[in-house]
Amino acid sequence: MAAEVATSTHRRGLAAERTSVLRLHVLDHGTLSLDQSIMLFGPTLATIDDPQRAATWLSIPSYSVLIECSEHRILFDTGSHPDSGDRWPDALKPLEVLSAEPECFLPNRLEQLRLRPEDIDIVVASHLHMDHSGCLEFFRDARVVVHRDELRSALEHYARVDGSPAYVKRDVEMWIRNGLKWSVVDRADPDFTLVPGVRVLNFGAGHVEGLLALLVELPGAGNILLASDVCYAKANLGPPPVLPGTTSIFDSLGMVHSARRLTRTAEETGAEIWFGHDPEQYQQLTKAPDGFYE
């Protein structure tokens, strides 16, 4: 079992009598620095009155979530690979700069909780971009839940000569070499319960070709909606939804529909939305190993 940690954090929410979830750990994987326009369209848009408006450089969080249940350990996303400095293509490095101490990478975060990759039963990959799936290769014994369209997209990018900066070739190569146990969610599949208290939400095309989110029912802290990049940050949610820069979108209309669905789901379930890259929200979250949510 995971090591005991110093504090627990509660918030008001919906109690879930049937949930198997015991606690939830936020695993910090450092920060990404990038142009604000990648995250949010509009604030640095030049105008006739300000034709030389300067870009804004942001630092945004990168993290994954460990969900401990009565009979399973579930990991949502995996962060970047420890060798990202060498693996990330040259085309990506000037656009997104990863800042992370060695302790930030997932294998070390798990070790802080006295866990190894072999102790994880299920990994849910929200999508397969480098900052969310870089450590998937370590989980050879786990069931890896992913959207079929997203897996196909990553493999197609891998097969092309030019590839894609977001789907890192070495990462994909190691998934293939290690024979990961994929469990795919199809485009038309409905949402489903993974284990009691953990529900996979099939958001489909938007930021990428196929994106998954999780609705987690904690026994005391209530419902948490792990949105990943369905919606980068609260500023994108609206209303009305505000799209990120066009280089970050596979399907802009799908991303708008996803943001609206995210709002509806949170309202219907009383859930708190945890965005994938919201620096202000992330500052308020309790991180492992200092504490957890239960």
| Cβ contacts of 75 within 8 Å, gap of 6 or more | 64, 65, 66, 67, 120, 122, 123, 124, 139, 142
Q: Which of 241, 278, 259, 282 is nearest to 42 (CA)?
A: 241
Q: Which of 59, 58, 72, 83 is nearest to 2 (CA)?
A: 72
Helical ranges in the chain per DSSP H = 36-39, 84-87, 106-112, 130-133, 148-159, 169-177, 234-237, 252-269, 279-284
Q: pLDDT at position 248, please?
A: 77
pLDDT at position 270, please? 97
pLDDT at res. 12: 36
**Residues 106-155: pLDDT tens digits?**
999 999 999 999 999 999 999 999 999 999 999 999 999 999 999 999 99
pLDDT of residue 44: 84
Scan for tokens 């489903």, then name that residue: 192
pLDDT of the residue at 228:
98
pLDDT < 50 regions, the chain: 1-17
- CB neighbourhood size of 8 (10 A): 13
For position 144, what pLDDT does the model report? 98
Contacts of 278 (CB under 8 A, 6+ apart): 60, 61, 232, 233, 234, 235
pLDDT of residue 293: 98
Distance CA 11, CA 62 (A): 23
Give the angle 27-33-38 at the CA atoms, nearest 5°. 105
Domain ranges of the chain: 12-44+55-283
Task: Look at the pTM and tell me if it is higher than 0.85.
Answer: yes
Q: From the options 3.30.43.10, 3.40.50.300, 1.10.3720.10, 3.60.15.10, give the CATH code of 12-44+55-283.
A: 3.60.15.10
Q: What is the per-residue pLDDT for 47?
A: 87
